[in-house]
Amino acid sequence: MRANDLEEKERDLFMVEVQKKVLSSDANLMARQQNEMSALRKKLEGRMNERLKLREVEHNKILQRY
């Protein structure tokens, strides 16, 4: 009976540790995805700004011709 109680306690502790690892892994994954999303967003904004500048330069060239 005592062995069964010890086994149950060990199983409970093991499950708690597994849950902690899963939660930690999920948190790391979410943080990594947020970082990737931020990097992609910055990259996209940079490209959009570059295209807007090129568009403005082309517009000014056209205006100077006419």
pLDDT at 46: 97
3-class DSSP assignment, residue 40: helix
For 35-59, the pLDDT digits (tens) are 999 999 999 999 999 999 999 999 9
Look-up of token digits 């006419």: 66
Q: Tell me the average pLDDT of the chain.
A: 96
Quote the pTM value: 0.64
**Exposed e or buried b for every residue in 6-24, given b needs 16+ CB within 10 A?**
eeeeeeeeeeeeeeeeeee
| pLDDT for the residue 66 | 83
Q: Residue 23: pLDDT above 90?
A: yes
